[in-house]
Amino acid sequence: GSFSYLAQVNHWSAMAPCSSTPTCRAHRRSVFSSSRTRRLRTPVPFIDVINVLIRGASASGGDELNGSGLGSSSSPPCWESRRSVLSWLSALTFTASATILGSASQAQAALPMGKMQQVQKLFEEAMALADDPEKAEEAWTRAIAADPTIAAAFSNRGVTRLARGDAEGATADLMEAANLERKQFQYASGFTLCALGNAQGGKGDWRAAVESYEEATRDDFPGVQTLSTAYKALALYELDEKAQAIESARAVVNDNAAPEDVRDDMRAALVGFLHATGEDKGARELLSGLNLTERVKGYELLVGGGGWSPKAVSSVADAAEALK
């Protein structure tokens, strides 16, 4: 059967800082709920993009996404809502993105129209090159040169570099993306931070990865805490903090609201962790429906930037052999 994994993430960032309403996060949830998901069979940190343009944005600021309103109010649409998510994480699943431009008048408030159109074109060109990481990286570099204040250009180049095995370059880009987000929104996106943690783990800095995953939990966007907790479990195990790794993995397994594939990944990890600590009875109780041998093949592909740590994968491999 197909293996599953916890997906890396990137997103479209707002072109201007949030300036007004407390409904920002609600906007992001509305954007997320409008997205569709698509299963992939290879661990590539890119998304099949759907450009969803705002139609009929009213003078009062009400936006319409695919015919469904994001909610209208007397205040202009929150710029932060344009950080539409290009990824939601169930295993082997990515969301199609919603690139929200807003009304022309609001976009001009963020950037001159010509500049905004130039940047949008560069983003579209880079996304179209998703199957060619080398060319995609060059395209994201052009987008950064056009406007180095857009966090998403750095985060997308970061995950592109990670796909090419450049964990150092990916870490630098994703740190810059997180810093830009903190300046613009007072916090960094949990998705950016999870990708940063993956990059830091890819270059062997698992302590820094844990710190990034922990910061990611401060983002209350649906699913972020599940994702960051799962990644943290794998990183903690690499640091030989087995009790904490087991606690984190079990928290995801026991979270009925978490995507089934993510829970299954953590169930497999927990089987490995428990077997390694001599708790074979508890490990066997979690085995139902899991083909650990096949899963290990997939997890091995994700060592070095995909979030799975070497020791975590080894623990699942050992359990697969011992618990046949």
State yes or no: pLDDT of 98 exceeds 70. Answer: no
Say whether both 263 and 212 belong to one domain.
Answer: no
Residue 52 forms part of a structural domain:
yes
What's the average model confidence in pLDDT over 147-171?
93
- Please tell me the total count of domains within the chain: 2
Instruction: Quote the domain boundaries for residue 221.
Output: 24-231
- The pLDDT score that the predictor gives to residue 182 is 94
Last residue of one domain, picked from the residues 213, 231, 249: 231
Q: Per-residue DSSP letters for 101-129?
A: ---HHHHHHHS-HHHHHHHHHHHHHHHHT
Residue 97 phi/psi, 5-degree rounding, is -85, 160
In angstroms, the CA 160 to CA 309 distance is 20
Quick one: 284 and 314 in the same domain? yes
Mean predicted confidence (pLDDT) in 153-165: 93
Are the C-beta atoms of residues 238 and 67 closer than 8 Å to each other? no
223 and 239 fall within a common domain: no
Query: How far apart (Å, rounded) are the C-alpha atoms in residues 318 and 197?
Result: 25
| pLDDT for the residue 114 | 72
In a domain, 167, yes or no: yes
Q: Which residue has the higher pLDDT, 244 or 36?
A: 244
Do 300 and 224 lie in one domain? The reply is no
Residues 118 and 177 in one domain: yes
Summarised one tens digit per residue, pLDDT across range 310-323 is 999 999 999 999 99
Q: Is the pTM of this model over 0.85?
A: no
In a domain, 115, yes or no: yes
Of 231, 246, 263, the domain-final residue: 231
Per-residue model confidence (pLDDT) at position 110: 52
Q: Indicate the residue among 205, 231, 257 that finishes a domain.
A: 231
Q: What are phi and psi of 206, to 5 degrees?
A: -75, -25
Same domain, 122 and 195: yes
- Per residue in 23-62, pLDDT (tens digit) is 344 334 333 333 333 222 222 222 222 222 112 222 223 3
Mean predicted lDDT score pLDDT of the chain: 72
Q: What is the mean pLDDT of residues 291-304?
A: 93
pLDDT tier for residue 2 given thresholds of 50, 70 and 90? very low
Residue 73 belongs to some domain of the structure: yes
Residues 240, 224 share a domain:
no
Q: Is 68 helix (H, G, I), strand (E, B) or coil?
A: strand
Q: Is the residue at 32 inside a domain? A: yes
Co-location of 99 and 72 in the same domain: yes
Whichever domain contains 98, its CATH number is 1.25.40.10
CA dihedral angle for residue 30, residue 27, residue 39, residue 248, rounded to 10 degrees: -110
**12 within a domain of the structure (yes/no):** no
**188 and 48 co-located in one domain:** yes
User: What confidence tens digit (pLDDT) does each residue in 4-22 have?
Assistant: 334 333 333 333 333 333 3
Q: Are residues 87 and 169 in the same domain?
A: yes
Q: What's the pLDDT score for residue 146? A: 92
Tell me the percentage of the chain whose pLDDT exceeds 70: 65
Tell me the pLDDT band of 118, cut-offs 50, 70 and 90: confident
- Same domain? 174 vs 318: no
- Min mean pLDDT across 17-26, 88-97, 139-148, 200-209 is at 88-97
Q: Is the same domain home to 36 and 50? A: yes
